[in-house]
Chains A and B, each alone.
Chain A
Amino acid sequence: MANATHGTGYRLYWITWIFLLMVTMVMLAMEYVSWPQWMLLTVLLVAMLVKASVISGYFMHLRFERPALIVIVAASLVLVGLVLFVLLAIDAIRVHQLSAV
């Protein structure tokens, strides 16, 4: 039984690896398509978040940990990171508009 679970453990990592490489290829391919900028931005940011959650979820085993640990990590990083960026971005946009005038 122990061998069986470890066998699927290896397989899970190789599947994760191939998935991450495929998402990376898609992101690099965005360089060669001429979509409107908001579409490119959306695809790239979503792909980035998908990659980040796959790495933390499967390579770092976060998906299989207790909710308490997931909340500690996600709350501090996602919330603080987002709040910091949103607060700064409002100011940055204002500076941009001022310098454009």
Chain B
Amino acid sequence: MPEARAESLILVRLQPFADLRRFLAPGQQGPLTFSLRPGSTVRDLIGEAGIPLDAEITAGINGEQGRLESALNDGDEVVLFSPMEGG
């Protein structure tokens, strides 16, 4: 009898930077780990994290610039920045 097999999820780590850290719980430092369905995008990940998409966001995936529509793979490290800050 075939084993019941759950669709395998991917594990992705998310680190928001600078003022995007306001979406972390108080005292929480990150990175946060999420299990997502394969084929999930950066947009999906941001939604999972409860970060509203109207915040101006730059996403990096494993050190390279990513887009909101970029598909994620197991083990990806995603960073999020809001580029507008600082004087």
A and B part of one assembly: no
